A and B are shown apart, each in its own frame.
Chain A
Amino acid sequence: MEVLQDLSFINLITHASVLVQLVMGLLLLVSLMSWWYIFLKMFAIRAEKKLSEEFEELFWSQSDLGKLYQNGTVASGEAGCMARIFSAGFAEFAKQKRKPGADNIAVMESVRRAMRATYQREMDNLESHLSFLATVGSVSPYVGLFGTVWGIMNAFRGLSNVGQATLAHVAPGIAEALVATAMGLFAAIPAVVAYNRYAHDVTRLSSRFESFMEEFSNVLQRQS
């Protein structure tokens, strides 16, 4: 083992043992995916917030709900979750109204059920992949640690073959092994931060949808 060691980053990775390299590869993949989801969710949630605000404004400024239902973006379902909840509720309301001798309370019940179903589906969509971020945040440090422990075990096993053990013999092996922990942390930290942030955002959106559903039910009840 030469005394002069080139501990550049590339060397640390290429000299690591196969298992550590596998762990590092896995962590890289997981990190890439978690960042991808982080950006995906960031764009989606930001767009959803904007669309909901716009739709709420439109809803309260429009007196004729039928016209709103016919509106281009609302009808095509591109105006956000809130618009889709509204569409589902209004479509159900229109259907029930067409039936002769409809009970007012029964109509409102079925409208609520239709809206609730759409709401659940939309929430499921918004919350998708958040569990992946949570998993990455909690598991990847352990995966990294596993790689590090394995690497250090190898470093010490190599040390037993050397008569006189110095720090220079162990240090490169430990440095290689620690890269795995570093990568695990690099994957975990943004994932945890993003998960907390997005979970909070989604909760706020859901409470907003629920209050809209209540208000819309009231409006429909008045019209019936």
Chain B
Amino acid sequence: MSALAYSYSESYRLPAGALALGVHLMFFALLYFGVTWRTEPPQGMVVDIWQSLPEPQPAPVSIAPPPVEPPKPIEQLKPVEPPKADIELTEKNKPKIKPVEIRKPVEIKPVQPKQVEPVQVDQKALAQQAAQAEQARARAAQQAAAAAAITSEIGKYTGLIRAKIKRNIVMPADVQDSMQVEFDVTLLPGGSVLSARRTRSSGSTAYDEAVERAIMKAQPLPLPQDVSLFKYFRELHLTFTPKEE
């Protein structure tokens, strides 16, 4: 009944007000520091996938003269191992490197009549032979270098072609990594595709068709500047697998 009856809440006014303010400050601090909505446009990015790294300075491809039959290969020449290209070139397309025939070392058998001849003559012949051998070796080395340049160029461009096609593949759903589809692609000079024939199906029609579409979409395919190399690209045998490489 007394005046004090209503004053009991007076003493709580200040702490209650402070607490209410505190709650709001906390809430706004949470919003301010916890929520920073920023919209940033995603940076566009184009990635070229290269099968093989190009040489820092592509050596000018000098087409070697048709191999001349070496007079008498004496030494065993190391067979030029062409760098493993990802592409299988059809039989008739095989670069002319292979034809660098490496003969089995031939033992020089002194011809019968020579034996009868005096020693000076024999020595003269031997010197001549040695010079010839030296010449042959140099020629073979030159050929090997040219062949290596060609194979590296072929490897580089087949890698580029494959990368461009793979970029254009719209991967269908449920493809297994183990699938493999093979195509015989006939190219025209300039990089357009004359025909793409499937030689081996992957088992998934969707993936086969996706690859075929990608081959068509990837036109023009990259080809080397050197027109004389086109013969290696006229008919390509390409193998694709969904696996990321």
Q: Tell me the A residues contacting B by CB distance below 8 Å.
A: 3-10, 28, 31-33, 35-40, 42-44, 47-48, 76-78, 84, 87-88, 118, 121-122, 125, 168, 171, 175, 186
Contact = CB atoms under 8 A, between A and B. Distances in A.
B36 A3 contact: no
Contact of A10 (B16, B32, B38): B32
Interface in B23-69: 23-24, 27-28, 31-32, 35-41
Given A7-B39, A84-B1, A125-B5, 8 more contacts: A3-B41, A8-B36, A9-B28, A9-B31, A39-B17, A43-B12, A78-B4, A171-B39
Nearest to A121: B5
Nearest to B6: A125
B39 A35 contact: no
Q: Which 8 A-B pairs have the closest CB atoms?
A: A35-B20, A39-B16, A7-B37, A43-B12, A40-B16, A36-B20, A77-B2, A77-B4
A88 B1 CA distance: 7
Given A3-B41, A7-B38, A31-B24, A39 B19 contact: yes
B20 A9 contact: no
Which of under 10, 10 to 19, 20 to 34, or 35 or more describes the interface residues of B?
20 to 34
A179 B73 CA distance: 89
Contact of B12 (A5, A44, A118): A44
B39 A5 contact: yes
B20 to A, nearest CB: 4
Contacts of B9: 40, 43-44, 125
Max chain B CB contacts within 10 Å: which of A9, A44, A87? A9
